[in-house]
Amino acid sequence: MYAGRAVEIGSSGGETSRGSALKPSFLEAVMLVERVHRRFLDVVKDELERLRRADVNSVQAVLLYNIGDSELSAGELKSRGYYLGSNVSYNIKKLTEAGFIVQERSLQDRRSIRIRLTESGRAVAAIVANLYERNARTLSEVGVLDVADLRQMTTALQRLDRFWDDQIRYRM
């Protein structure tokens, strides 16, 4: 049972016709999620270029936005879903070298390194925040998506996220 629905598996353990019918839409959705994320990073890149900010890339700018006013470890960044990709350590190192992040040992656990934004890091985070605000306003004005569309999409993506999390956690 998943999200209130029975999962159908054929007697041979293979897909049923329902699963076969779902597969093309499922694959298209997975590819679309990846493409939309890449496109969003391109939008952030264009905004940084427009503002002549060559000192940070789009992935790093979104990472700075996601850190915000928090003080976190690199592991917390990934576990909270704030960062996509395997090179979080590389970007933290680069952002520290560029003066966007400060790294300090945790007072509670000396083995753990906590990161937080500097004033420069907060300035870049503000650029991304303004971009989010402008995009939300424009979506509303143009009528591309409304609140109901976004809520439905978010619900579907949350279900898919939970499904994949269960796949990993329970080795389904």
Q: What Cα–Cα distance (Å) separates residue 141 from each residue in 68, 77, 138, 145?
A: 28, 33, 5, 9
User: Above 60 in pLDDT, residue 9?
Assistant: no
Indicate the CATH number for domain 31-144: 1.10.10.10
In this structure, the dihedral spanned by the alpha carbons of residues 69, 135, 60 and 99, taken in order and rounded to 10 degrees, is: -50
Most confident by average pLDDT, 2-11, 101-110, 115-124, 137-146: 115-124
* Closest by Cα among 45, 30, 19 to 157: 30
**Predicted confidence (pLDDT) per residue in 63-113, tens digit:** 999 999 999 887 788 777 666 666 788 888 899 999 999 998 877 777 778
Q: What is the pTM of this model?
A: 0.80
Partners of 2 in beta bridges: 5
- Residue 155 token pair: 């619900």
